Chains A and B, each alone.
Chain A
């Protein structure tokens, strides 16, 4: 098995692990982390699929990481508001929702 194929198989395995954690875990923070693991595994498959010298997968993965960071930030914000309802009463100007 070549290195690239190994990474692709590894990525698919990680995806399944992440999905398993998402289904099994009860705490929302664990589930958010599970989604992050799934995201990273997809990026691994994307990079492993690159032909030598092909820049496109790297561009895709960078875009994907930006999306994943934004999604995680939104999820953590929702989690915080659920965990500390008092904090939602006095949000700083320009924060929250956006």
Chain B
């Protein structure tokens, strides 16, 4: 399969699947399986064809920059496409048991559109197509979050919609200013130009502020906990695991390629925001009484590590870049697994108050195991992916002379241990209620598979960094 087929197919396959699921409700199960597994096969193919060669590029329909749609794939895009494609079938497996009709049909359609938007975003080669894929991602994510249908979920989705639209528009205003100055939107043509263009700094501030709002980075995270905690479990997992990573990926791309990692102040500011987010939101997670809110705050805290790693890339190079990617991938897997497992517990108990969970370890050993494994990665204990990522992050921090980072990583890990043990304690303690209805086993296996692969990632650090290649 050549680049000219592979890159468009990565967007078109899930897109066609999403439309098929909404149009042909009878075959929705088949579409969901074919859509997510086909996407995984394409993602794997992209990852094996990429290393050793140049980054892949394709102009859709033969229309090049500035008018056409340029698709590009380098190591970073390939890893993100692959981890998304890996998580998706497990989420679909869980969803196939978690929803009744018609929610299952809506989930299948929207989730495949969500995957198409993510793939499009990771492969897009110009600023405007990035805007369109950001909006597609935001709209499908908001519709997914509203799927639960309760008033709390609807109100949280509306807030999410307003936040994500505001973020996109700030980004688009920045793009408009850049186009005014440079006359092109192509990322390759704009490479390194950002700092010399008139208005480049203003455009940068607008784009990054909008993207940080969309990524729910502290202190712009106000919309995330209610939206993620009130959604249904497969949706929470998709939003917390995948949706918030895309804007951060874009911040990294823009800052490193368009602006060459310029302005030391930007790095200091991003690192400070990230560190504050780790500490403040880990503390918030510890204080929550509802399990899903606890997991949602943990997401904002973990995004803080990603932001710190991102901020260190210009100073520490490949070490920080590798830390960003390993932390990102392990958080996708661990958080998706944790949200599914906590969703299983909440479904059995019919509420998600932590102190009201009964002793479920005998009845749902797989979900309890998933919480423990995801917790190992979130706390950063060896041999998990979370440990490898934090280890690289510490090395990057020390190499660039930021010793305070050691304290932040240690404190963040301790607070993570507190909130994870708060969850674990209640799956092993509390009163037993054996008569509660059992859940379909595949809902438990999906959670365990995702959480287990977050730990397994600790053994795959080298191949992952090999696929990543150098700093762009």
Contacts and interface: CB of A to CB of B under 8 A. Distances in A.
A88 interface: yes
28 contacts: A8-B180, A12-B173, A31-B162, A39-B165, A39-B169, A45-B180, A46-B172, A48-B180, A49-B179, A51-B183, A56-B67, A57-B179, A60-B128, A63-B128, A64-B131, A67-B132, A70-B139, A71-B135, A71-B138, A71-B139, A71-B161, A74-B139, A74-B142, A75-B162, A78-B146, A78-B157, A81-B149, A88-B149
A35 B180 contact: no
Nearest to A49: B180
B162 to A, nearest CB: 5
B211 to A, nearest CB: 15
A82 interface: yes
B161 A74 contact: yes
A2 to B, nearest CB: 13
B180 to A, nearest CB: 3
B: contact size bracket: 35 or more
Contacts, number: 93
Given A70-B139, A85-B151, A97-B146, A35 B176 contact: no
B161 A78 contact: yes
Interface of B: 22, 66-67, 103, 106, 109-110, 128, 131-132, 135, 138-139, 142-143, 146-147, 149, 151, 154-155, 157-158, 161-162, 165-166, 169, 172-173, 176-177, 179-180, 183, 185
B166 A35 contact: yes
Interface residues of A, number: 39
Q: Is the interface of B mostly helix, strand, loop or mixed?
A: helix
Contacts of B142: 74, 78
Contacts of A22: 162, 166
Contacts of A41: 173
A28 interface: yes
Nearest to B154: A82
Interface string A63-92: 110010011001100110110010010000
